[in-house]
Chain A
Amino acid sequence: MPAAQLARLPQATTFARLHGAPADPDPTTLTSGLVVHPRTTQVVYATPGGPPVAALPSTELGSPTWVPVVQSRRGWDRVLLPARPNHASGWISTDGRTLQSAETPYVISVDLAARRVTVLDGGQKVGSWTVAVGAPTTPTPTGRTFLMASLEPAHPTYSPLILPLGAHSNTLDTFGGGPGTVALHGWPDTSVFGHSVTHGCVRVPSAALYVLSRIPLGSLVLIRS
């Protein structure tokens, strides 16, 4: 695709809302663990070889872009995207050498009813912690998403590490000046754990944050009601 045409496509980032990006076909299912990193900006198509709907940049919030592959066909991978609406996905070409592939054995399971995060490595439980999840009026969105970035705030106010996901609040278009991105992060007041009190984020104990901080970007996060 010519550079000028690529530049006109909306960037598939946490700040964007995409139109025409197909919804994740199996939002409650595990994947093979395959994740891909675009070395250069990739065109995202609605169907293999179909209409382009977005451009997937090589970095998200400064971290290298790693997205999970949820479906594959010869020459094409369908990946989850970090933009709105939730469950947005799209097809990228696997021809050429512009995609780096890798496998992650990790799955992060978030059970909203039980207010519990469980980390699995190759199907084996690594740890499980009671957490705080979205309040009834600002619920944590359900479905399949992924670890998008790993950020260390220069002046942390509530957590030394923020792990934004590829999901957004369904009830808040913006929050605190941001695009309503849902994240995993710590919280100084441990009394929140076990309660539905957040604006959509998942607040986790420091032991959980330590484990989560080492999980590769692109790893699947399964959020269940």
Chain B
Amino acid sequence: MTFLHVTKRTAAAAATAALTAAATIMALAPAPVLADTSPSSATGILTSGLGLAPVSTVSSNGKAEDSSLLSTPSIPALTASVLHVFADGAQGTARASAADLNIGGSQLIASLVTASCKPGGGNATLLNAIVGGHAIPVAPPPNTTIAVPPGAGHIVAITLNKQVKNSQGGLTVTALEVQLGTGSAQKTIDISTANCAAPTTTTAHTSPAVPAAPAPVPLRGDLPVTG
């Protein structure tokens, strides 16, 4: 398993480069979309209508790739402290997380927004998520839409745990899709998207599976802790 760790300095540089490139990409090509045919991939922030390139993306046709971005670029009215993305094309798994999310000046906040998928399914988790002062379910069923409460500002629609199956047997899970505006003014922000293609290798060709960690066995003993 290969991990790519992005330091704060390089993350900031990458983010700046991504934003600089965004204007060019916007003029030359439609916004990138997650591939329908593999590889497995994960994206921290994916927008449409805002002219921004995807933020924090990894993709993998084989060995696992992993990246952390310690601060988000200056997307208008959107902040997150950490974006973590992971994709393993060999296993057909992916995961994307955004921590300390804040959209629209606290119109929507969440401690952690995670999407993950694997062969056979996917899920989304939203910890301490609040929109317009109302709590969002922690583990919503697939394709849950919620009524946008007053106080949510420009947010007009929210979809939780959006799941889309593709023709190749893969699955794309977006933990949180936020729609801003309607009609020609419509923009969307996807937070934490995991895209799992069908595994590229068979079990026989992969390294031995890591076993499940054992349940603990309590030991007779004591430690004065900070009760």
A contact residues vs B (CB 8 Å cutoff): 14, 25-26, 28-30, 32, 34-35, 61-63, 66, 71-74, 101-105, 109, 111, 114, 118, 120, 122-125, 128, 134, 138, 147, 149-154, 158, 161-162, 164, 169, 172, 175-178, 180-183, 185, 198-201, 203, 213-219, 222, 224
Contacts and interface: CB of A to CB of B under 8 A. Distances in A.
B54 to A, nearest CB: 19
B154 interface: no
Contacts of A28: 81-82, 99-100, 112
Nearest to B116: A123
Instruction: Assign chain B's interface to a size class.
Output: 35 or more
B82, B86, B99, B227 interface centre (most CB from chain A within 10 Å): B227
B148 interface: no
B112 A30 contact: yes
B71 to A, nearest CB: 12
B223 A101 contact: no
A87 B139 CA distance: 28
B68 A162 contact: no
Contacts of A154: 220-222
Contact of A66 (B70, B127, B213, B222): B213
Interface string B135-175: 00011000000000000000000000000000000000000
Nearest to B93: A32
A26 B124 CA distance: 21
B123 interface: yes
A175 B219 contact: no
A30 B217 contact: no
Chain B residues touching A, majority SS: loop
B27 interface: no
A203 B116 CA distance: 31
B202 interface: no
Given A34-B210, A104-B212, A152-B221, A175 B226 contact: yes
Given A28-B99, A30-B97, A72-B1, A62 B219 contact: yes
B216 A178 contact: no
Contact of A151 (B1, B97, B99, B222): B222
Contacts of B100: 28
Interface string B77-107: 0000110101000000001010110000000
Contacts of B214: 102, 216
B125 interface: yes
A120 B214 CA distance: 17
A102 B211 contact: yes
A63 B84 CA distance: 31
A73 B3 contact: yes
Given A29-B84, A120-B125, 4 more contacts: A61-B223, A123-B123, A124-B125, A153-B221
B226 A181 contact: yes
